[in-house]
Copies of this chain bind each other. A is one copy, B any other.
Amino acid sequence: MKKIRIGLIGYKFMGKAHSNAYRQVGRFFTPKAIPIMKAICGRNERGVKEAAENFGWQEYETDYKKLIKRDDIDLIDITTPNNSHCEIVVAAAKEGKNILCEKPLAINLKEAEEMLKAVEKTGVKHMIGFNYRRAPAIGLAKRLIEEGRIGKTYHFRSTYLQDWIVDPEFPLNWRFQKEIAGSGALGDLLAHHIDLARYLAGELIEAIGMDKTFIKERPISLEADGLTGKAGKEKGKVTVDDTTLFLAKFKNGALGSFEATRVAPGRKNCNRIEINGSEGSISFNFERMNELEFFSRKDLSYAQGFRTILATESEHPYISAWWPPGHTIGYEHTFIHQIYDLMNDLAEDKMPTPNFLDGVKCQKVLEAVSNSIKTKGWAKI
C-alpha cells in the first residue's frame, strides 16, 4: 500500500479537523494511499507538542521551514492564518512538496497567483480545502445537476449566516485583523459559497457588493486563536468586515445573490444555498447537512413538492463507508472525505480538485467584490 507522509502546519480549529481526517480516513475508507501522520508544526512548542499527542502525530516541529525541508514528508498541509499561506506554499513548492492549503488561498489575488505559479513551476500536486464540496448532500446535488434534473440554471442564492461575534464583548483575535485574515466574512465564509457556486452553477463574470463592520472595536483576546477565548480590558480595532453581500452574474446567464454575516442571532452555521433552474431546484443548509431539498417539475403534476432527501443511503457519495441509512454524519466528515479523495489522487498521480487554480478563481471573485465595494460599481471578474 502506498503511503503519503504528512506534515501539518497549524494545530488550532482547522489543525484539529485535518488531523482527525488523517486518522480516520483509513478506518472507514480504503484509499489507494494511506496518510502517515509524520509531523505537526506550530510556533508554540508547548502547544504543538500537546497537539501532536492529542491528535496522533509522530513528531512535532516548531519551524515550518524545517518541516518543509524534511525528506520524510510528502505532503504539506497548511491550516495557519491566511497571511502566512503564500510564504509557506512558495517555500514548500520549492522543496517539491505536494500541498493542501486551507481556504481562502491567500489574503489577496496577487499572493494567490504567486502561489499558483509556484506550484505549477515545480509541478507539485495541490489542493484547496473547500471541504463543503465533500458533504454527501452537495455531492448528490452535483450529480442531480449534471444529470440535467434542474435544467438550465437561472438562480444561485446563498446566505452564510453565523452569530458568533454578535456579542460586542467577543474578543478580537487574528480573524478580525485585515493584515492577517485579509478579510472577515468575505474570505472566511463567502469563499466557500463562491466555490460552491463555481462547482454547481458555473463561473462568475461580474459582481457588485457592499460590506459593513457593525462592531468596530472589541476587547483584545488573551489567546492566540481566541475562538472561545478570554479577553482583557484593552480594546482593539476590527479591520475586517462583519458582513459582506454581493450580486453576481454568471457566464451561463444565471444570476447570483451572496450574503455572509457573523452577526445574525440564532444562525449558527447557516450555510444555505439554493439553485433554481428551468426544470427544478435544489436547496441545502449545512445546519442540516445530511439533507438535500430537491424539486422536480417532472414529478406527477399534482404531487410536486420539495423532497427532503436524507443523503445517508449507501448510494449517496461517501456514505457506504459509514453507517446505515438515517444514521447521520457531521461536520468533521467533510474533511475525512476530502482526505480520501486527496489520497486517491496522489496515489494515482492525478491533480486533485478543487486545487490552487480554483483557489485563484475564487480569489478573483473575492477581489472583484472588494473592488466593487471600493469603486461603488460593478467589477469584472
> Do residues B268 and A310 form an inter-chain contact, with CB atoms below 8 A?
yes
A140 within 8 A of B: yes
Type the 1/0 row for A157-186, where 1 means its CB is closer than 8 Å to any CB of B. Answer: 101011110110000000000000000000
Residues of A in contact (CB 8 Å), total 100
Which of B255, B291, B327 contacts A243, CB < 8 Å?
A: B255
Q: Which of A20-64 contact B (CB under 8 A)?
A: 20, 23-24, 26-27, 54-56
Cα(A140)–Cα(B246), bound, Å: 30
Would you call B27 and A302 a contact (CB within 8 A)? Answer: no
Contact A331 B323 (CB under 8 A): yes
CB within 8 A of A27: which of B23, B247, B261? B23
Residues of B within 8 A of A214 (CB): 154, 253, 278
Residues of B within 8 A of A329 (CB): 330-332
- Are the C-beta atoms of B261 and A154 separated by less than 8 Å? yes
Of chain B, the residue at the smallest CB distance from A268 is B326
- Chain A positions 202 through 225: 1 when the CB is less than 8 Å from some CB of chain B, otherwise 0: 000000111010100000000000
A56, A291, A310, A325: residue with the most chain B Cβ atoms closer than 10 Å: A310
In the assembled complex, the CB of A58 is this many whole angstroms from the nearest CB of chain B, namely 15
Q: Give CA–CA (A276, B149) in the complex, Å.
A: 28
**Bound CA span A22–B265, Å:** 36
Contact of A255 with B245 at beta-carbon distance under 8 Å, contacts A20-B27, A288-B288, A313-B302 already known:
yes
Given A155-B263, A301-B315, A377-B377, 19 more pairs with CB closer than 8 A: A24-B24, A163-B276, A163-B325, A166-B278, A208-B210, A208-B247, A264-B276, A265-B277, A265-B281, A287-B290, A287-B328, A288-B288, A291-B305, A302-B316, A306-B307, A322-B332, A323-B330, A323-B332, A328-B331
Q: Which 3 A-B pairs have the closest CB atoms?
A: A268-B326, A269-B326, A266-B295
29 CB contacts below 8 A, A to B, read A20-B27, A23-B27, A144-B303, A149-B303, A155-B264, A164-B325, A212-B255, A228-B314, A243-B255, A245-B247, A246-B247, A257-B257, A263-B276, A264-B274, A265-B276, A265-B281, A266-B295, A287-B290, A287-B310, A292-B305, A294-B303, A301-B313, A301-B315, A302-B315, A304-B309, A306-B308, A323-B331, A329-B332, A376-B378
